[in-house]
Structure 1
Amino acid sequence: MTANTNYPDNITALYARLSQEDALDGESNSIANQKKILLKYATDNAFPNPTFFVDDGVSGVTFDRPGWNEMIRLAEAGKVTTVIVKDMSLIGRDYLKVGYYTESFFAERDIRYIAINDGVDSDKGDNDFTPFRNLFNDFYARDTSKKIRAVMRAKGNAGEHLCTNPPYGYTKDPADKRRWIVDEEAAEIVKRIFALCIAGKGPMQIAKLLTAQHVLTVKAHYAQRDGKPLPEKPYQWGPKSVAGILERPEYTGCTVNFKTYSKSHKLKKRLHNAPENQRIFPNTQPAIIDEQVFERVQELRENKRRPSKTGKQGLFSGLLYCADCGDKLYFCTTNSFSPKQDHYVCSNYKSNTGTCSAHFIREETLKLFVLQRIFDVTALFFDGAMAFEEAAKKQRFQEAEKEAKKRKRKIAQAEKRIAELDRIFKRIYEDDISGAISHERFLKLSADYEAEQKELTEQVKAWRQAVETFEQDQADFASFAVIVRKYVGIWELTPTIVNEFVKKIIIHVPDKSSGHRRQKIELIWNFIREVNLPGDDQTVERQRKGRAA
């Protein structure tokens, strides 16, 4: 686009455009060649004030182009008298919009338009072939889009990265541009962002911390790495940038293709693709974030925690659920509350006007309960790893392991039978063709074999899923054991410890029938979930005349 901002009246707009697909046609379509042809034509025909408007590397499918937009703005202001292009396709490849500009917009403003190579000149009358030429240009764009999509689909299905640049934390391997390697400096920031999220911080809080610590932003990091000038605010992180990092599964070492799609080659807007239409390829680059950590962060992001108006944030916010209605308990505090008065109450209670009863518990009570449970589990593991393993595996894995082995044997037998049925079907088909058996007999046998094969295939699918679930459970147990080892002997709770250990806590309504306030609390652990280690399902009890739990 021209840099001139003080435009004269009676401009002759010389418009040049080049997209990547146009560049394939060679030097004849280059911007320099277009400008040379346009200026010569304007000079030879004495057009006043020739002014260039250029869009380099912009597709003709879209009309949201800087050079084009500036030219149209001046046309609307009445400063443009003539528009000249090398050929019609350079105006654009959407025949409806090209038709709007050439037959309506320019005509209403008495703007003459000329396409040199196509012999189009609005002052010399309509060219009957122009609408067809616009339509052919549109077909060309559509055909090019189909070819590009086919290439991208093939690359995506082969597990190749479809994005041009790797996400922050990775860089292209100098020896093989298709491979990603870890950018160690950026990867440390990615790890810190995930750790802060596990510690209970949201994107806005994380962005403020990174800004305060003068951590280079993504854009500034790239500029410094490439030896370019830093942006104006090199340390000003935004919550969207942080959230984008927290949501990228590629940090676990996988490639996720077809995450978005567009409905048409004419639409720039990308729509989110359903998970079943995406393709995930594991272990395509070194992992920066452990898969279990990534999944935990996604769970925490779904249960967003916001500080109260006082600035205080509940240690268990987003983790507490009502045993009766299933809704969350929300954190209640005021500036006048002491820490012992901060509490949680069912969101459906609403001071006895809602649909649920008062599932109420103080944060101090929960802290003591959860700290004791985590301490007990870590102590059990510390005293004897085998005892810890027995406590969990006995309930979950002993019978499941036997069943998994049995299913694996059944899968092998079923797959053998499925392959055998293929061979049988082939034989009876040949017998049918040769007349060795009647066609009626063939139809009956083939229907029976196909039904058997279909049933076996469905069974194999179900058995495989069960085996995969069992193996995932074993991996989850190993992940939980790693967390336990990390926090042996803890004496104080932090948001990070709570989020790493606890998946959810179910609060039951207090029972005061015995003269004591008894309240059942169910603690569901991360990874091992419903396995009840000794004491997980406990009751908190206090004298009614004492301070309530």
Structure 2
Amino acid sequence: MTANTYKPEQITALYARLSQEDALDGDSNSIVNQKAVLSKYASDNGFTNPVFFIDDGVSGVTFDRPNFNRMIAEIEAGNVATVIVKDMSRLGRDYLKVGYYTEIFFVERDVRYIAINDGVDSAKGDNDFTPFRNLFNDFYAKDTSKKVRAIKKAQGMAGEHLTKPPYGYKVDPNDRKKWIVDEEAAVVVKRIFDLCVAGNGPMRIAKTLKADKVLTTRAHYAKQKGKPLPDNPYSWNESTIVAVLERMDYCGHTVNFKSYSKSHKLKKRIPTTKEQQAIFHNTHEAIVEEAVFERVQELRANKRRPTKAERQGMFSGLVFCADCGSKLHFATCKSFNGSQDNYRCARYKSNTGDCTAHFIREEVLRKIVLNRIFVVTALFYEDITAFMELIQKQRFDEAEKDMKRKRREVGQARKRIAELDRIFKRIYEDDINGTISHERFLKLSAEYEAEQKELTEKVKAEQQEVDTYEQNKSDFDSFAAIIRKYVGITELTPTIVNEFIKKIVVHAPEKIDGKRFQKVDIVFNFVGEIYLPTDPQTEQKEANKQEKTA
């Protein structure tokens, strides 16, 4: 490139960059050092109108940097005559992009480019070694990325936090590796979960917090640091609410490796599966009970959409068809009063689908559910021991025999897997020594590998069932806590429904002696379906009576 056409009003852009990894190399690459080198060079060589563009703590593999972008905007506007950097690596460590800027972008815009320590000056002609220097810088970035990933991997597998504390926590001033509860923010986190259990979606929760003038996460941090509050300090974002509701850290657990990038040059993070994550339990104080967190995840999986009538069914997302397993959709319109709101099978489709309506009015369902909660609560307080025995008999007695068998099978399978490992070693030695033919070895090893794989999968599946069973046995206390919490209720609320009820299964109505009967199964959280020693058709009679008067 020849010398650029200089305009007096143009500036000399002095660009400095330092990544977190570069800072470890000492003072030679520090921002202060870079500014001193750039200022002296510009002054000694007669470059006028010097303006600094500094990106501190930004990696060289990304070119989406605030002040780099600002410099590029000035260049595109024709306001820059010369760009000066300390060395080529300060411009970036991606040799393809660095090459684009130095060999195409700057050339097309008649901008002179100087890298002081590398002896690069576009006004003096091409430097044949520059492309190789860019490549070395790229290799350096790749090698540094590998080292950083290895360190992060070791820290993550040791249970250390790999991210900053989420909203609701803060770093312990006495131990930077630990999180402690931020009491002010924790109150808001708890409220967000409570609002979700009460049947509110993220958008409605955001609107509620805004109406109550609760500071957003950004505003909260600004207030803590004594900085001015941002514009719209109460304007909560739906995505922020979703992020809070989906974060297991609030249960007191550390969850590492929740996302990854395909390359050190890519900023996009890809979510990992639960199996790829490393979860360490009880590493810090919990803000939300685990049972509440799990219930919120279940409710989030069955998202409820507001109807055009701006009413939402109390049981939306909880009611299922007994025949096809589909959800029963909530049906209403502005002309309906409350008694006409109803649920019907999603696959009914006005009698054009492949299932019947399984129609049931919400008013009827409210009475059925409230009555069942009354009966269960009464039985609990009348004789808690008898109630516990009832639950145990229905859920655990029959399952206990099956679990004993599964535990025994798991133990036997693990012994066989260990035995197969010894057999593999023995036949491998026989193959090496020539005791058996290699063909025989391949045949035997294939058979043993298939058996071991099958046993390993069986152990995993049956152990999961055993673990679930053990967890279920401890869930009685959680259900008892809900009963005690809502003793004496006279009407249902979305919160009560979501805490008590896991699922409602509605059967198709049938005619018996000319009367309409409809079976409704109620599955409670923690304890499942409870078969009470009452008239099995009480609910159906109630439903029949209500529908006649509706």
TM-score w.r.t. the length of structure 2 is 0.89
Deviations 1:314-348 (A, max 9, x none): 11111112233332222222333222122222233
State yes or no: 1:387 paired with 2:386.
yes
Instruction: Tell me how far 1:426 sits from its aligned partner.
Output: 7.6
Match of 2:53 in 1: 53
Query: 1 CA distance for matches of 2:462 and 2:365?
Result: 41
Which residue number corresponds to residue 285 of structure 2? Answer: 286
Distance in 1 (CA, whole Å) between partners of 2:334 and 2:535 is: 33
What secondary structure is seen at the aligned counterpart in 1 of 2:519? strand
Q: CA 1:371–1:25 in structure 2 vs 1: closer, same or farther (change >3 Å)?
A: same
Q: Pick closer, same or farther for the CA change 1:342–1:438 going to 2, 3 Å.
A: closer
Deviation at 1:476, TM superposition (A): 2.7
Shift of 1:252: 1.1
Task: Give per-residue Cα distances to partners, 1:246-293, cap 9 Å, x unaligned.
Answer: 111111111111111111111111111122211111111122212121
Q: Which amino acid aligns with 2:540?
A: V
Partner of 1:72: 72
In structure 2, the CA distance between the partners of 1:129 and 1:355, relative to structure 1 (3 Å rule), is same
Report the secondary structure of 2:96's partner residue. Answer: helix
Q: Indicate the SS of the match to 1:547.
A: helix
Per the alignment, residue 468 of structure 1 pairs with 467
Q: Distance in 1 between matches of 2:519 and 2:187?
A: 42
Corresponding residue of 1:107: 107
Preserved CA contact (<8 Å) 1:159 1:255: yes
Measure how far apart 1:515 and its partner are. Answer: 2.5
Identity %: 65
What aligned pairs does 1:470-509 form with structure 2 within 5 A after superposition?
470-509=469-508
Letter in 2 for 1:115: A
SS at match of 1:474: helix
The runs of 5 or more residues in structure 1 that have no matched partner are 1-6
Q: Could you tell me which residue of structure 2 aligns to residue 10 of structure 1?
A: 10
Contact 2:361 2:547 in 1 (8 A): no
Question: Cα distance 1:207–1:276, how it changes in 2: closer, same or farther (>3 A)?
Answer: same
Deviation at 1:93, TM superposition (A): 0.5
Which amino acid counterpart does residue 12 of structure 1 have in structure 2?
Answer: T
CA drift of 1:458 comes to 5.5
Amino acid at match of 1:18: L
Distance 1:528 1:246 in 2: 24
**What secondary structure does 1:177 align onto?**
strand
User: Which moved further from structure 2: 416-425 or 314-323?
Assistant: 416-425
Q: Which stretch of the first structure deviates more once superposed, 130-139 or 42-51? A: 42-51
- Per the alignment, residue 252 of structure 2 pairs with 253
Q: Partner letter of residue 151 of structure 1? A: I
Deviation at 1:168, TM superposition (A): 1.7
Question: How many correspondences in the alignment?
Answer: 540
Task: In structure 2, give the amino acid aligned to 1:126.
Answer: D
Structure 2: gaps of 5 or more residues: 1-6
Shift of 1:397: 0.8
CA distance in 1, matches of 2:398, 2:535: 22
C-alpha spacing 1:151/1:548, structure 2 compared with 1 (3 Å): farther
Q: 1:200 is matched with which residue?
A: 199
Displacement of 1:421 after TM fit?
Answer: 7.4
SS at the partner of 2:25?
A: coil
Change (3 A) 1:104 1:406: same
- Say which SS state the counterpart of residue 506 (structure 1) adopts: strand
**Alignment partner, residue 547 of structure 1:** 548
Structure 2 counterpart SS, 1:327: coil
Q: 1:543 to 1:70 in 2, by over 3 A?
A: closer
Paired AA for residue 294 in structure 1: F
1:409: how far off?
5.4
State how 1:102-181 maps to structure 2 within 5 Å.
102-163=102-163, 165-181=164-180
**CA positional deviation for 1:99:** 0.6
Post-superposition shift, 1:214?
A: 2.8
CA gap of 1:370–1:110, structure 2 versus 1, over 3 A, is same
Letter in 2 for 1:363: E
- Asked if 2 retains the 8 angstrom alpha-carbon contact of 1:204 and 1:239, the reply is yes
Query: For 2:98, what is the secondary structure of its paired residue?
Result: helix
Query: Is the contact made by 2:326 and 2:346 (CA closer than 8 Å) also made in structure 1?
Result: yes
Letter in 1 for 2:548: R
CA distance in 1, matches of 2:167, 2:244: 8
Q: Which deviates more from structure 2 when the two are superposed, residues 170-179 or residues 404-413?
A: 404-413
Partner of 1:510: 509
Superposed CA RMSD in Å reads 3.1
